[in-house]
Amino acid sequence: MANIHYLYQWSLYSFMELMQANLDSEELKKIDKQHSEDRLKVMTRELFITFNHACTHGLLNEHQMLLQVRLA
């Protein structure tokens, strides 16, 4: 995020909290661990949604779309 603007800093702790929340998500728990492709699809979608939601609140409007494109 610092590549977008120097004021946007994201701590490793915050990043790890979001990652852990996604790994503990109910939707991911519903999928059998043997179905790795299905799990990867769910994890990718959930990560995009979670990070987008967590990060865009503090961004300027002009930077929100840029973050979404970089996450995609």
Residue percentage of the chain with pLDDT more than 70: 78
- What was the pLDDT predicted at 53? 79
pLDDT of residue 61: 72
pLDDT in tens, 4-29: 666 666 778 888 888 898 889 888 88
Q: Is the pTM of this model over 0.85?
A: no
Interatomic CA distance for residues 72 and 29, integer angstroms: 24
pLDDT in tens, 31-57: 888 999 999 999 988 888 888 777 777
Q: Give residue limits of the domains in the chain.
A: 12-71
